[in-house]
Amino acid sequence: MSLTHLSNLSNSRTTSYLARTRSVLRKQLWIWPLVAAALLAFTAVTVRLHMEAALKQQIAGNLQVILNANAEALRAWAGMVKSEAETLADDEHLRDLTTALLVRTTNGTSLQAQLLVAPELAAVRAQLNPWLDRRGYSGFVVLDTNCLVLAARRDQLVGMVSPSGYAAQFAASLAGKSSLTQPFPSISMLPDMKGNMRAGVPTMFATAPIKSADGRVIAVLGVRIDPDMDFTRILATARAGGSGETYAFTKDGRLLSRSRFDEQLRQLSLIPDTADSESILSLDLRDPLVDLTKGKTSPKRRAEQNLIRPVSEAGAGHAGVDVEGYRDYRGVPVVGAWTWLPEFNLGLVTQVEVAEAFHPLHIMRLGFGFIFCLLVAGSAAIFVLMRLANRLQATARKAALKAKQLGQYALDDKIGAGAFGSVYRAHHALMRRPVAVKLLESEVADANTAARFEQEVQMTSQLTHPNTIALYDYGRTPEGVFYYAMEYLEGLTLDKLVKSHGPQAESRVIAFLMQMCGSLSEAHTIGLVHRDIKPANVFLTQRGGLPDFVKVLDFGLVKARAAEGQLELTGATSTLGTPLYMSPEAVEHPNQVDARADIYSVGAVGYFLLTGQPLFDCASLGEVLMHQVKHMPVKPSARLGRPVSPALEDLLMQCLAKNPAERPASARDLGDALAKCPGAGDWTREHAEEWWLRLALAQSEKTLVLPAAKQP
């Protein structure tokens, strides 16, 4: 028998087998659910294994990013407070007062009484107290080299010899270096979190040596910091989910920052069940071996329990990540990442409960299980379902044809996505006018997003300025799909403009910003704050024969400042907006922003247009937010390496002031100031028309090299 014959016979048998199989599957419809169930079971196992591995890798990466962000935030904050302490300690007047107080310690007895009435003590307080109040510090101490308190904010400490808590903490500065102490129990009476005066309240200091003219350390200045107000807050810069936390600890497992579970810790008797008890400095991070939150009792006494895994490993100098799960100090299974920071002599761990971290995997398992059960149960009713399926399929085809029709508007192409839905190019069924239709798609629709969608329509419809996107219509289909129609724009966003064409000419930047100010001025006048001004939300087009016409888009995050009863759609802990263009107050207090937050964003957009780069070059969200709050960007001229008009540069930097009161008072004032800048008006209509013509030619030739803006 020839090879050709064997091949033909094999093909014939295969064809016959497939035909018989198709016939059986057509007639024995009950087999389909079993086949589907088998395929689903195999798929479920495969997908579960791959998804679990991918999810663990993602969780590990997220934990490490959060840990690194908090560590960098702690380093940045520590550097700042130490620098401020050094500046105070280097003050010549403070050094002279300290020298005078040192002389008084050699004169006779009743040392405390002499120091308390010494005019130098009053002078030190008069010099330091106002500065401390402005900067948010809680107090100060000045110690001589024998740890005798020469001066302090509180009389109780003055004249005290060698306070045991201070001597060890101030050792680095006694040796001539500035330092940041760990939190430790106070020895003086301080207000606790309830406002009650008592000793043992957690405190910490930024310390710096006070040196004589010849460089000898004669005393140490310590600036008191409330750990709850600063240290713990810094560690909460970024954390994962509703159960995530980042905390600091010592090698022996003592918690140095506040736990987010203090109330639960009181109920579990891990800290005293009193109103003024707190976890900081009082909780030992030990593994209870069982989940105490489920009412179980540990088989070992607290002192006999081992330290939790992050503490034991970080204390030994080993950084790590555990996504398999370990027990935290409550016995709750968690995943986490940890490290040791030798410069602070403490460890950091960031963790989140296993149940929350792997919640998507749990949902997937339940989903596959539920579908599998439905398929098995459905084998008995498959004949009826197949009949119904045919009818439903015909109905679905008709619905699919109607899906492209929203009211009087026929949808053409999907052109993008907004804050709460998709945007389509469309046309009016009767007038044939091209429009852009934004709709809230059913898969993302819920009560909150629908309310925000309607709010965007209501707010934007009040605006009539030509530089604001215009709304034509709003409606809802019988199926409950929200949509609204707005003017259709052809052109490009400022974000794409800069990315394709690079930094823009100063005169053109001024022209763009003045138009933006016109749009925002109207919004601010009626009490609306945009809250998401960024290059991607500003569109450049040609309108009514006018080239370089700016349109401000996407009022999806707009907030009414003065309307009583206004639905509050932003949670107290949410951060809305784009971090690279958010004002400092929008980062720290997102529900308390006013029109000056938009002024900051306009300045950030102008900076981007002028330099081709955002304000800060940061690697993580936490770093961006920290820079927005704490740091000023370098000037555009320094960023570009060439001169920039001082008037324009100074105006942009004024817009970017951290204090809202130092910015231009309104969008109108900013527009007026821009109009007075050298170069305002130099970008003429002829320049703009030439640029748009060259852009059209470049696009028609399908070239990859887009035209740059020609200097006027």
pLDDT tens for 367-404 read: 767 766 776 666 566 656 655 654 654 353 335 335 56
Whether residues 215 and 261 share a domain: the answer is no
Angle at 357 between CA 352 and CA 360, to 5 degrees: 165
In SS3 terms, 342-360 reads as CCCCEEEEEEEEHHHHCHH
Average pLDDT over every residue of 426-441: 81
Nearest to 687 by CA among 709, 670, 671: 709
Sheet strands (E) in 497-612 = 528-529, 538-543, 546-552, 559-560
More confident residue, 349 or 708: 349
Judge whether 294 lies within some domain. yes
Query: Residue 426: what pLDDT?
Result: 87
Report d(CA 448, CA 196) in Å as an integer.
42
Among the ranges given (161-170, 339-348, 374-383, 626-635), the one the predictor scored with the smallest mean pLDDT:
374-383
pLDDT at 49 over 90: no
pLDDT at 1 over 50: no
Report d(CA 442, CA 174) in Å as an integer.
66
pLDDT interval class at 445 (50, 70, 90): low
Percent of the chain with pLDDT over 90: 47
Answer yes or no: are the C-beta atoms of 516 and 467 closer than 8 Å.
yes
In terms of Cβ atoms closer than 10 Å to its own Cβ (0-12, 13-18, 19+), residue 298 is middle
Instruction: Give the DSSP H or E segment for 131.
Output: helix 119-135
Whether residues 275 and 377 share a domain: the answer is no
List phi, psi (to 5°) of 255: -70, 130
Query: Residue 161: what pLDDT?
Result: 78
Contacts for 214 with CB less than 8 Å, ≥ 6 apart: none
Token couple for 360:
């998507």
More confident residue, 70 or 703: 70
In sequence order, the β-bridge partners of residue 351 are 245, 336
Token couple for 19:
């035909």
Average pLDDT over every residue of 280-285: 92
The dihedral region occupied by 706, where left means phi > 0, alpha psi between -120 and 50, and beta the remainder, is beta
In terms of Cβ atoms closer than 10 Å to its own Cβ (0-12, 13-18, 19+), residue 570 is middle
Report d(CA 53, CA 50) in Å as an integer.
5
Instruction: Give the DSSP H or E segment for 108.
Output: none
Place of tokens 């479920």: 44
pTM over cut 0.75: no
Whether residues 98 and 187 share a domain: the answer is yes
Contacts for 544 with CB less than 8 Å, ≥ 6 apart: none
List phi, psi (to 5°) of 340: -115, 130
Whether residues 263 and 381 share a domain: the answer is no
Judge whether 8 lies within some domain. no
Query: Residue 557: what pLDDT?
Result: 57
Query: Residue 567: what pLDDT?
Result: 31
Average pLDDT over every residue of 412-429: 77
**Structural domain count of the chain:** 5
Sign of the CA dihedral running 90, 94, 100, 101: negative
pLDDT interval class at 326 (50, 70, 90): very high
Judge whether 629 lies within some domain. yes
Contacts for 485 with CB less than 8 Å, ≥ 6 apart: 409, 426, 428, 435, 436, 437, 471, 472, 473, 474
Query: Residue 702: what pLDDT?
Result: 59
Average pLDDT over every residue of 625-648: 92
Q: Which residue, 438, 473, 488, sits at the end of a domain?
A: 488
Token couple for 87:
């500046």
CA 123 to chain centroid: 43
Q: Which residue, 225, 260, 277, sits at the end of a domain?
A: 225
Average pLDDT over every residue of 271-277: 83
Judge whether 553 lies within some domain. yes
Instruction: Give the DSSP H or E segment for 169.
Output: helix 164-169
Q: Which residue, 430, 455, 488, sits at the end of a domain?
A: 488
Report d(CA 687, CA 508) in Å as an integer.
9
Place of tokens 């409950």: 480
Judge whether 338 lies within some domain. yes
pLDDT at 595 over 90: yes
Among the ranges given (141-155, 440-454, 644-658), the one the predictor scored with the smallest mean pLDDT:
440-454
Report d(CA 639, CA 632) in Å as an integer.
13
Judge whether 666 lies within some domain. yes
Percent of the chain with pLDDT over 70: 82
pLDDT at 589 over 60: yes
Judge whether 280 lies within some domain. yes
More confident residue, 317 or 559: 317
Query: Residue 690: what pLDDT?
Result: 92
Query: If you write DSSP's letter for every residue of 289-321 in order, what string do you get?
Result: SS-GGGT---SS-GGGSPBPHHHHHHHTT--EE
In this structure, the dihedral spanned by the alpha carbons of residues 668, 673, 674 and 680, taken in order and rounded to 10 degrees, is 130
**Residues 184-219: pLDDT tens digits?**
888 777 777 777 788 888 989 999 999 998 899 999
410: CATH = 3.30.200.20
Query: Residue 709: what pLDDT?
Result: 47
Query: If you write DSSP's letter for every residue of 595-659 in order, what string do you get?
Result: HHHHHHHHHHHHHHHHHSS-S---SSHHHHHHHHHH-PPPPHHHHHTS---HHHHHHHHHHT-SS
Average pLDDT over every residue of 107-127: 87
pLDDT interval class at 127 (50, 70, 90): very high
Strand order in the sheet with 245-249: 245-249, 346-353, 333-341, 320-327
Report d(CA 349, CA 337) in Å as an integer.
6
Token couple for 519:
């749009």
Whether residues 267 and 301 share a domain: the answer is yes
Contacts for 482 with CB less than 8 Å, ≥ 6 apart: 421, 439, 440, 445, 450, 453, 454, 475, 476
Report d(CA 52, CA 368) in Å as an integer.
14
Query: If you write DSSP's letter for every residue of 258-297 in order, what string do you get?
Result: --TTHHHHHHTTSS--STT--STTT-B-B--SS-GGGT--
In terms of Cβ atoms closer than 10 Å to its own Cβ (0-12, 13-18, 19+), residue 567 is exposed
Average pLDDT over every residue of 472-482: 74
Average pLDDT over every residue of 623-635: 91
Query: Residue 381: what pLDDT?
Result: 64
In SS3 terms, 16-79 reads as HHHHHHHHHHHHCCCHHHHHHHHHHHHHHHHHHHHHHHHHHHHHHHHHHHHHHHHHHHHHHHHH
Whether residues 163 and 212 share a domain: the answer is yes
Residue 481: how many other CB atoms lie within 10 Å: 17
Report d(CA 623, CA 553) in Å as an integer.
28
Token couple for 637:
């001229």
Nearest to 235 by CA among 75, 64, 8: 75
**Residues 651-706: pLDDT tens digits?**
999 999 999 999 999 999 999 999 999 989 899 999 999 999 998 888 877 544 44
Judge whether 152 lies within some domain. yes
Whether residues 392 and 431 share a domain: the answer is no
**Residues 71-90: pLDDT tens digits?**
999 999 999 999 999 999 99
Contacts for 575 with CB less than 8 Å, ≥ 6 apart: 582, 586, 587, 590, 625
Give the range of the structural domain holding residue 373, as residue numbers without chain letter.
Answer: 360-402
Strand order in the sheet with 405-406: 405-406, 409-417, 422-428, 434-439, 482-487, 471-476
- Cα→Cα distances 330→259, 278, 286, 305, Å: 11, 15, 8, 12
pLDDT at 9 over 70: no
266: CATH = 3.30.450
Whether residues 156 and 245 share a domain: the answer is no
| Contacts by residues 98-105 (CB-CB < 8 Å, ≥ 24 positions apart) | 98/124, 98/142, 98/150, 98/151, 98/210, 98/218, 98/219, 99/212, 99/218, 101/142, 101/150, 101/151, 102/144, 102/150, 102/218, 102/219, 105/144, 105/148, 105/150
Nearest to 181 by CA among 162, 200, 160, 205: 205
Answer yes or no: are the C-beta atoms of 305 and 289 closer than 8 Å.
yes
Whether residues 558 and 664 share a domain: the answer is yes
The dihedral region occupied by 241, where left means phi > 0, alpha psi between -120 and 50, and beta the remainder, is left
Whether residues 310 and 435 share a domain: the answer is no
pLDDT interval class at 444 (50, 70, 90): low
pLDDT at 465 over 90: yes
Whether residues 696 and 679 share a domain: the answer is yes
624: CATH = 1.10.510.10
More confident residue, 220 or 30: 220
Whether residues 217 and 349 share a domain: the answer is no
